[in-house]
């Protein structure tokens, strides 16, 4: 056993090792790198090494596909002269130490991991519809989980794409970017956001000649909460003259925390058009912000900056979808149902003590409770549901700017206004409650492919997709932009 000679090595790109009886194709994957990787097992009597090939575009992932007889098999990997087993797969201890095991059956008829370019397995080959992927075999509600190999291959290719493309790919052919001077009154600023239909605006300090922060719906939410608080130092009259810079500084002192989008004495978190899309996505995720200004300066000291674009995860996701949409075989997970992928937040199962319920509200809950939940949970939107938890609408942070219309915020109390009433402010008077605006309330089914969820999240203004039950629209889960990118970038 365990012969190391070159004579025992064979290319297993499509080699069948079982010579008699019915066989099923089995796919072995080693996703942990190496220079030369082989697989051997009970199906070769431990006397032959089947050479594994690196997956195209993913040099650290090796695979071998061969035909085996149904039943239990043991196997192990020979990596750069050392015997290894995959700790993430089932193992047993026996005559040959710790080895992996797999049970093959002829009844398996679903593809857990599509074929990868460069292999000899044709995705249209009838036999491939019975391919057994040696990876995560957990079954949930009768649906097989997507294989670890498919996840690793997809992550590798997305990372490669994002690393090779830059901020220039995000720039539209034409358009405008609105920036606000920090000396503008807060009230006027939110009127501008509402009238222009934009959720976020960069802040310009004309004295320093630099961009120093962002004004977002969260600022307006905190201002309204201040107005509702007894003894607030900020009165409605002061909103007429209270500048953005004064508010930002007061916010930093009042809440006792650093505002990642307000940096008056240090450089703003921003990106250059030369940075990779991967680096831009990481900046957004690591700083807990929704937008990063793309700024260009021809001077080494950063003077005379030009604001080119506001980069967001949705824009980067749109690039990914556009690039891989017509070649989904390059990303094995794109056509997999979202319920088979470890992604997002889901309604907890009955009796599960380690899970938390999803944050949801009824339409007649107070606007104050919605704003508190948005701030405390740190989410971008909240599903609004009926007594059966069926989705009616969604309330997002950006909806708060609707209160700037006709100075509504000056004569309402957040505790007295319902979410239903607040949503009506931002809709046409003839629009019935519960109308699903394509940009407001994005839904998918748990059986929908990941690509569909990604395409909906790539729409401007969409931060979360709600997974609902077919027919009843009962909320089953939520997948956000940050969920997608943390999954794809292994964060």
Render pLDDT for 6-50 as a digit per residue (tens, 0 to 9): 444 555 444 455 555 677 778 888 888 899 999 999 888 888 899
The whole-angstrom separation of Cα 86 and Cα 76 is 8
Same fold for the pair 24-104 and 167-316: no
Best CA proximity match to 246, nearest among 324, 161, 189, 182 = 182
Is residue 447's pLDDT more than 60?
yes
Residue with tokens 């015997």: 83
Six-digit token string for 163: 């690393």
**Do 467 and 445 contact (CB within 8 A), yes or no?**
yes
Tokens 């949970």 sit on residue: 377
The predicted pLDDT at position 431 comes to 44
Q: Which residues contact 121 (CB under 8 A, 6 or more apart)?
A: 14, 25, 65, 115, 128, 131
pTM above 0.85, yes or no: no
Residue 107 has pLDDT above 70, yes or no: no
180-181/53-55 β-pairing = unpaired
Q: How many residues does the chain have?
A: 491
Beta pairing partners, 471: none
**Could you tell me the end-to-end alpha-carbon distance of the chain, in angstroms, rounded to an integer?**
40
Structure tokens of 94?
Answer: 């026996």
CA dihedral 222, 225, 229, 231 (to 10 degrees): 40
Q: pLDDT by residue (tens digit) across 165-210?
A: 999 999 887 778 888 998 888 878 888 888 887 888 888 888 888 8
The residues spanned by each domain of the chain are 24-104, 167-316, 333-489
| The most confident of 263-272, 459-468, 480-489, by mean pLDDT | 480-489
Query: Residue 71: CB partners within 8 Å, gap ≥ 6?
Result: 103, 104
Tokens found for residue 410: 């000056």
Q: Decide which of 301 and 136 is more confident.
A: 301
SS3 308: strand
Q: Could you tell me if 347 and 479 are in contact, meaning their C-beta atoms sit under 8 angstroms apart? A: no
Distance of alpha carbon 59 from alpha carbon 1, whole angstroms: 29
| pLDDT number for residue 10 | 53
* Model pLDDT for residues 120-172, shown as the tens digit of each residue: 222 233 322 333 333 333 334 445 677 788 888 888 889 999 999 999 999 88
Residue 116 reports pLDDT greater than 50: no
Q: What is the mean pLDDT of the chain?
A: 77
pLDDT tens digit sequence for 468-477: 998 888 999 9
Please give the pLDDT value at position 258.
45
Q: Among candidates 338, 334, 333, 327, which has minimal Cα distance to 448?
A: 338
pLDDT score for 80 = 93
CATH topology of domain 167-316: CBS-domain (3.10.580)
Specify the CATH number for 333-489; select among 3.40.50.11810, 3.30.420.480, 3.40.50.300, 3.10.580.10. 3.10.580.10
**346-to-144, 453, 488 alpha-carbon distances in Å:** 17, 15, 19
Whose tokens are 């905190």? That residue is 222
Task: Considering only residues 429 and 344, tell me which one the structure prediction assigns the higher pLDDT.
Answer: 344
Which pLDDT score is estimated for 5?
45
- pLDDT average, residue stretch 233-245: 65
* Strands of 109-209, DSSP E: 132-133, 139-140, 143-144, 180-181, 201-205
Confidence of residue 427 (pLDDT cuts 50, 70, 90): low
Partners of 28 in the β-ladder: 64
Nearest to 121 by CA among 37, 17, 21, 14: 14
**Which tokens sit at 123?**
């995705």
Q: Are 119 and 12 in contact (CB under 8 A)?
A: no
Residue 376 pLDDT grade (very low, low, confident, very high; cuts 50, 70, 90): confident
State residue 66's pLDDT score: 82
Q: From CA 37, how far away is CA 192, in angstroms rounded?
A: 60
The residues near 130 (Cβ < 8 Å, ≥ 6 apart) are 24, 25, 106, 108, 109
Is domain 24-104 given the CATH code 2.60.40.10 in the classification? Answer: yes
Share of the chain above pLDDT 70, in %: 75
Distance between CA atoms of residues 332 and 346, nearest Å: 23
C-alpha 239: how far from chain center: 37
């Amino acid at each position: 056993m365990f012969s190391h000679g070159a004579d025992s090595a064979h290319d297993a790109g499509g080699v069948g090792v079982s010579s008699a009886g019915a066989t099923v194709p089995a796919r072995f994957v080693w996703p942990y790198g190496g220079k030369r990787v082989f697989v051997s097992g009970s199906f070769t009597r431990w006397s032959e090494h089947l050479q594994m090939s690196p997956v195209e575009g993913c040099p650290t992932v090796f695979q071998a596909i061969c035909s085996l007889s149904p039943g239990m098999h043991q196997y192990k990997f020979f990596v750069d002269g050392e015997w290894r087993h995959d700790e993430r797969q089932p193992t047993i201890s026996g005559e040959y130490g710790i080895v992996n095991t797999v049970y093959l059956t002829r009844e398996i008829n679903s593809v857990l991991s599509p074929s990868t370019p460069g292999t000899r397995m044709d995705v249209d080959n009838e036999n491939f519809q019975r391919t057994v992927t040696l990876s995560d075999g957990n079954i949930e509600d009768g649906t097989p989980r997507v294989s670890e190999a498919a996840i690793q291959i997809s992550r590798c290719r997305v990372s490669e794409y994002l690393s090779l493309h830059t901020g220039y790919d995000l720039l539209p052919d034409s358009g405008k970017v609105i920036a606000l001077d920090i000396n503008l009154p807060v009230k006027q600023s939110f009127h501008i956001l509402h009238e222009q239909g934009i959720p976020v605006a960069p802040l310009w300090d004309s004295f320093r000649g630099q961009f120093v922060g962002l004004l977002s719906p969260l600022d307006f939410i905190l201002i309204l909460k201040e107005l509702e608080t007894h003894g607030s130092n900020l009165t409605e009259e002061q909103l007429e003259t209270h500048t953005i810079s004064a508010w930002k500084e007061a916010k930093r002192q009042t809440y006792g925390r650093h505002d990642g989008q307000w940096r008056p004495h240090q450089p703003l978190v921003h990106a250059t058009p030369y940075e990779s899309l991967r680096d831009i996505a990481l900046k957004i995720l690591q700083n807990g912000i929704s937008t990063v200004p793309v700024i260009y300066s021809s001077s080494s000291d950063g003077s005379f900056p030009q604001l080119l674009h506001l980069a967001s995860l949705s824009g980067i996701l749109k690039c990914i979808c556009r690039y891989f949409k017509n070649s989904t075989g390059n990303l094995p997970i794109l056509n997999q149902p979202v319920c088979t992928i470890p992604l997002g937040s889901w309604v907890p199962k009955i009796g599960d003590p380690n899970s938390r319920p999803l944050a949801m509200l009824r339409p007649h809950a107070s606007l104050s409770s919605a704003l508190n939940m948005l701030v405390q949970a740190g989410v971008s939107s909240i599903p609004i549901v009926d007594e059966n938890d069926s989705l009616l609408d969604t309330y997002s942070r950006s909806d708060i700017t609707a209160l700037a219309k006709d100075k509504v915020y000056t004569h309402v109390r957040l505790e007295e206004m319902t979410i239903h009433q607040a949503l009506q402010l931002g809709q046409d008077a003839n629009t019935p409650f519960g109308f699903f605006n394509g940009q407001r309330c994005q839904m998918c089914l748990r059986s929908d492919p990941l690509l569909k969820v990604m395409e909906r999240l790539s729409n401007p203004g969409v931060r979360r997709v709600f997974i609902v039950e077919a027919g009843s629209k009962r909320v089953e889960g939520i997948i956000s932009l940050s969920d997608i990118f943390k999954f794809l970038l292994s964060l």
